[in-house]
Every structure is written in C-alpha cells, then in structure tokens.
Amino acid sequence: MSLKTWSFVQARLLALVAAAAVLWACNPVVHRFDRTTVAASLAKGNDAALVIGEFPLMKVTDGDTIRVAGLDASMRLLGLDTEETFKRKSEYMEFDKGWERYLAEAQAKTKSPVKIPTPMGEEAKKFAEAFFKGVRTVRLERDHPKEIRDFYNRYLAYVFVEKDGKTYNYNVECVRAGMSPYFSKYGYSRRFHKEFVAAQEEARAAKRGIWDPNKQHYTDYDRRLEWWNRRGDFIQAFELQAADHPNWIVLTHWDAIERLQSRVGREVVILGAIGDIRETAGPTKVLLSRRRTGSLPLIFFDKDVLARSGAIEHRGEFVVARGVLTKYFNKYKKQDELQIVVTTPGQIQHEVLAPAAPAEEAADVPKDTTQEPGAKEPGPEDTAQPAAADAGDAPAEPRDNDAAEREDSLAPPGAAD
C-alpha cells in the first residue's frame, strides 16, 4: 500500500470514528432497565442496590416528572410534590374566572387538599427545564434497597446531575428553590432527610416559590405538612422497631410477599395503608394496599370488631396489622393467597387523626378495583373458609401516568418488583 493510499485510509478511518462519536452523542446507547436488571442490582447488596443507574435524559414533563430512556416504567421523584401544570383548555377557562374563585371552587369539590393546575405549577416546570438545560445524562438512585416501585408501578428515584464540576440532587434543589414542599406523605427520606428539611427551611425563610405570599399557589401547606409529617413519624417508628423483629414486615418492600409466605401459620406484624374496603354477604375485607393489582386482605367476620378497630375511619392511612397469616383459595385466580383474620380490635393499630382533617385522606385513596368478568362478591356459601375468594387481585388495565400523578395516591410508595 502506497503512502498516499495509507494516508487516505487513515483519513477515512478518522472520519468514521468522528461520525460515530457524533452519532453516539446525539443517540447514546440505551441500556434497558427492567426486572432482570433489578434482580441483579439487589443481589449485589444494599449499597449497590441503591443505584438504579445512569440514563439519557429525554424530557422534562413538569416540576416533579422527567423522562429517561431505558426504564421499563415511569418514575416518581422522591420527596417532591410540585403543583400541577395546565394541560387542557377547560383548565385555563376555569382559571380565567379569577384566582380566588378558581381555588375556592376547586376546594369545594373535595375534602382533601386540592390538586389542581396553578401558575406555581408552571413556574416549577420552568425551573426544572432550566435546571436540566444542557444535561444529557442523569443518575438515578433509590432511597431504600427494598423500596423499588410505587402503587402505580413507577420507579422511586432521586435524580443526580453533574453541573459545573459539582453533583446536585435535583429533588433537594427543587425544594430549596421553593418549587415543592418536602413531601413526606409516604415516609421521610432515609438518606437525605436533613438536607430536605434544611432546604425547605431555607426556601421558606427566603419566601421562594410556594412560600411567597404574593404568588398564586396552594394556600394550605402548613396543613399538608402537618398531615404528611404525622404519617412520616408513624412509618419511621415502625421501621425502627422492625429492624429487631424478623416477623415485622413493611408490605411495600420488594421481598414482603416472600417473607410472608415463609411465615404462614405464624403471627406477623405488618405496616400497610388501608385501600379499598369491601362489604360482602359474609365477611368485610379491608385491603392493605401493595400494588394496583394486588393487596393483602384483612378479614373481619364481626361487624362490631370492624367498627371498633377504626379501620373504616382510617381508610387511606397507614396502620399496623397484627395477626396469624393463613391461606385461602381464590377460586377466580385458582391459586392460594394470603390473608389475616381479625378477631379483636386491638389487632389494628393506627395513628391519631388530626381533629382539623378527620376525613381529608379518604377522597384520593386508589381503589383496588380490578375484577374478572362475571366475578361476584361471595355469599354465605363461601364463608365456611376463613375468607371468601374474590377476583379483586386480577390484572388491571395499565393506568395513565398523568392520572396517577394527579390522583397522588395514598397507597404506600414502594412495592415488590
């Protein structure tokens, strides 16, 4: 090969390498993250399991929602709950009636704190867009190695980015900017609690974002924080005690069902949130939320025990249920499933509800509404076994993520993968 030919070949090779580099920069390799990847990361131990991975950033949807390439599901950003953005013409029309009227009419429709589009929601989205401008790759991490997904199957994550030679936790910085309160509704951050608290205090003192009285945003954050922190305290107290008791189980942990299966016939103590409550001709079924397609039923044959347990009043709240695990045969799914039969009110322990908001939580509890065609609630003939079978845990239709975010379910945050 002549020198001229060799020079030409080298030039072509360099051109191809450069083109490949540009192509990768525009379209980075996307490594899929799915159940297999989850299992592999969990097998490496707790520290390694906290890291979900690095992913190309695809889109900023709003203040607490981003999209990345490679995940097999959407995400819920931990510790954040920014206000909603306007997505429909009808929402703008309602807002055009005037801020005070718009807020009052929305609040009149629910006993829960409102979840509506606001100018503050739009500002939070602009903050996120500015924060992630120029960022091509983000690192996602968990708060707890066993808390992987939420009730709606979304990954639970902190988002880290590298900017100007520094690493930033977007979740904390969003709170520091006043775009969101420290959202502890499903429990305090185990890794960054102090950072979140400090960021919120800084934003509040500086009257940034939601803490600015001159901006149009929700006006009841003190009430929300009192409620969320009360729940956070309850969850934290259970987790501290559970560390020394192998039969104390957080229902949302990925290995909860496996641990429960190994304790059939023995007493367990379970932390979960009360979701749907089903009255039947026989027992009443109080479902502890786990995933949208599956819950753990607490079975009440005695209506007086149900009334005195406080389960109905605490729908949507976290409770601690104690009892002996048994199995029953679900004739619709044709498989054995777990349950706890409650015979005394003391088997259900719960926090004291704040007098100012005794029923605010009930309105936005996600119901486990899945039911196979033709399925019915059991009649008296089905009550000979500890609990009547039902089709309540049949597969559900996929839920739109925006709807899930708007509902902001009271179901617990994590669930087994």
Distance CA 99, CA 87 (A): 17
Instruction: Please report, as a single letter, which amino acid is at residue 216.
Output: Q
Planar angle of CA 74, 77, 79, nearest 5 degrees? 155
Structure tokens at 262: 């190994």
Pairing of strands 267-279, 166-169: unpaired
Cα angle value 206/208/214 (rounded, 5°): 105
**Do β-strands 248-250 and 267-279 pair in parallel, antiparallel, or remain unpaired?**
parallel
Question: Which pLDDT score, from 0 to 100, does residue 340 have?
Answer: 97
3-state secondary structure of 156: strand
Residue 46: the pLDDT is: 54
Tokens describing residue 402: 């925006």
Name residue 82's amino acid.
Answer: T
Question: Among positive and negative, which fits the CA dihedral 357, 210, 144, 61?
Answer: positive
Rounded Cα distance, 314 and 311, in Å: 5
The structure tokens 């009841």 sit at 220
Task: Give residues with Cβ within 8 angstroms of 317, minimum separation 6.
Answer: 231, 273, 274, 350, 351, 353, 361, 410
C-alpha span between 229 and 386 (Å, rounded): 37
End-to-end CA distance of the chain: 59
CA distance 5 to 113: 74
pTM to 2 decimals?
0.76
Q: What is the mean pLDDT of each run of 10 residues along the chain (417 residues)?
A: 48 47 44 52 61 95 95 92 96 95 94 94 98 96 94 93 94 98 96 98 98 97 95 94 94 93 96 92 91 85 96 93 93 87 96 44 41 35 37 34 42 38
d(CA 262, CA 255): 11
CB-CB neighbours of 306 under 10 Å:
22
Q: Are strands 155-163 and 75-77 parallel, antiparallel or unpaired?
A: parallel
Residue type at position 214: N
Nearest C-alpha neighbor of 249 from the set 230, 228, 267: 267
Q: What angle do CA 264, 272, 417 make, to 5 degrees?
A: 75
Who's near 135: CB < 8 A, 6+ residues apart? 57, 161, 162, 163
Q: By C-alpha distance, which of 229, 218, 223 is closest to 358? A: 223
